[in-house]
């Protein structure tokens, strides 16, 4: 029987109280405060049932909560000052370390992938400054065609990540059996018990996928048929395009941002990107100016 997150959290905090050299860990207070936030979010949920969407929702809630002012022998007071992306990243890192400990102690199956791998960690304080737009993605694709000498699938990967908003983990596991080029749609299983994600393909993504030969096994496989690790190639392409330090996951955020700017409803964004809650897609809705203008025009003329 899989341990629950609150039990994992308590045990992990206890192990962190003393360093390996026997000295007291002076950071234990910070670690405990951050992990208690996650314990309040996930509580008695079994470790292996915590999903990336649940982590996403918790990150949004953390950002909305703001800073806390600690008080002696009293509950902390919530301040109006918002948390920085760096602070949220530290909370996220603490959670990832907790899951790593669970795997080390064999509390989860060996093949289990922690939900932090696919969560939408905020990249910067201004959420609108680092999204790719359609023109920038087109440039990335052109550069990928030029620099991807050996693999030959980077252009298709970029187009597909941008138009579907699929996480890198989903793309690495994607099999050709899940791709219907005639219908221009891919089917991705969410979880063992969850509903599948139906992700429509753009015409550009479909064209790039059709260029790939040998449509069997993993779509984005390497020479041996295993999942290809594209990090170095991605870094090379983005550096040449002038986007040094932009990680691959930003294509998912860029998908949501592009749809919001085009006036797509929050419900449709949730459906396309596989969000299960309003919180996860809410981060893009401030960009939906066209949708707001349409509402005002209908009501007030």
Per-residue pLDDT of the chain (301 residues; tens, 9 = 90+): 789 999 999 999 998 877 666 667 667 788 888 999 999 999 999 999 998 878 887 887 887 776 665 555 555 555 557 777 778 888 999 999 999 999 999 999 988 889 888 666 655 444 445 689 999 999 999 999 999 999 999 999 999 999 998 888 889 999 999 999 999 999 987 644 456 788 889 999 999 999 998 888 999 999 888 889 999 999 999 999 999 888 898 898 888 888 887 777 666 666 667 655 545 545 554 444 455 455 334 433 3
233 part of a folded domain: yes
CATH of the domain at 84: 1.10.150
Range of the domain at 48: 5-118
- For residues 65 and 31, membership in a common domain is answered with yes
Note if the pTM is more than 0.85.
Answer: no
Give the chain's domain count.
2
Does 259 fall in a domain? yes
Q: Are residues 78 and 225 in the same domain?
A: no
Q: Are residues 169 and 274 in the same domain?
A: yes
Indicate if 50 and 193 belong to the same structural domain: no
- Could you tell me if 66 and 196 lie in one domain? no
Same domain, 155 and 196: yes
| pLDDT confidence of residue 247 | 84
Nearest to 280 by CA among 2, 59, 3, 47: 59
Q: Assess if residue 20 is contained within a domain.
A: yes
Q: Return the CATH number at 245.
A: 1.10.443.10
Is 129 contained in some domain? no
Vertex 149, ends 123 and 252: CA angle to 5°?
25
**Which residue among 84, 118, 152 closes a domain?**
118
Q: Specify whether 266 is located in the same domain as 191.
A: yes
pLDDT at 298 (0 to 100)? 44
Same domain, 61 and 141: no
Q: Residue for token digits 């609150």?
A: 6
Q: Based on the domain organization, do 140 and 269 belong to the same domain?
A: yes
CA distances for 88 relative to 44, 140, 168, angstroms = 23, 29, 21
One domain for residues 188 and 276: yes
Q: Last residue of a domain, which of 118, 150, 182?
A: 118
Q: Are residues 47 and 2 in contact, defined by beta-carbon separation less than 8 angstroms? A: yes
Does residue 154 sit in the same domain as residue 272?
yes
Region of 49 on the Ramachandran plot (φ > 0 left; ψ -120 to 50 alpha; else beta): alpha
Q: For residue 124, is it within any domain?
A: no
| Residue 265, domain member (yes or no) | yes
Residues 35, 7 contacting (CB under 8 angstroms):
no
CA distances from 129 to 24, 88, 126, 254 (A): 41, 18, 6, 11
Is residue 125 a part of any domain in this protein?
Answer: no
Domain-located, residue 44 = yes
The reply to whether 112 and 53 lie within a common domain is: yes
Phi, psi of 249 (to 5 degrees): -60, -20
- Confidence (pLDDT) at 58: 85
């Amino acid at each position: 029987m899989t341990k629950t997150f609150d039990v994992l959290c308590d045990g992990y905090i206890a192990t962190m109280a003393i360093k390996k050299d026997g000295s007291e860990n002076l950071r234990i207070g910070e670690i405990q405060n951050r992990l208690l936030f996650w314990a309040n979010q996930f509580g008695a949920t079994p470790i292996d049932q915590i999903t990336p969407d649940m982590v996403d929702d918790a990150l949004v809630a953390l950002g909305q909560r703001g800073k806390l002012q600690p008080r002696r022998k009293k509950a902390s007071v919530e301040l109006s000052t918002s948390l920085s992306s760096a602070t949220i990243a530290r909370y996220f890192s603490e959670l990832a370390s907790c899951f790593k400990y669970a795997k080390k102690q064999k509390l989860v199956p060996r093949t289990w992938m922690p939900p932090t791998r696919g969560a939408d960690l905020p990249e910067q304080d201004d959420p609108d400054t680092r999204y790719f737009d359609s023109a920038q993605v087109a440039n990335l694709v052109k550069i990928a065609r030029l620099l991807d000498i050996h693999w030959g699938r980077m252009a298709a990967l970029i187009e597909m990540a941008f138009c579907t908003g699929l996480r890198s983990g989903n793309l690495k596991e994607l099999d050709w059996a899940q791709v219907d080029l005639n219908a221009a749609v891919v089917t991705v299983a969410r979880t063992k018990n969850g509903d599948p994600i139906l992700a429509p393909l753009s015409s550009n993504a479909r064209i790039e996928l059709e260029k790939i030969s040998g449509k069997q096994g993993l779509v984005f496989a390497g020479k041996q048929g295993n999942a290809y690790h594209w990090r170095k190639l991605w870094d090379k392409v983005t550096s040449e395009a002038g986007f040094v330090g932009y990680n691959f996951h930003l294509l998912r955020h860029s998908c949501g941002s592009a749809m919001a700017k085009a006036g797509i409803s929050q419900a449709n964004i949730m459906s396309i990107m596989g969000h299960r809650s309003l919180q996860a897609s809410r981060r893009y809705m401030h960009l939906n100016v066209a949708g707001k203008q349409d509402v005002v025009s209908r009501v007030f003329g």
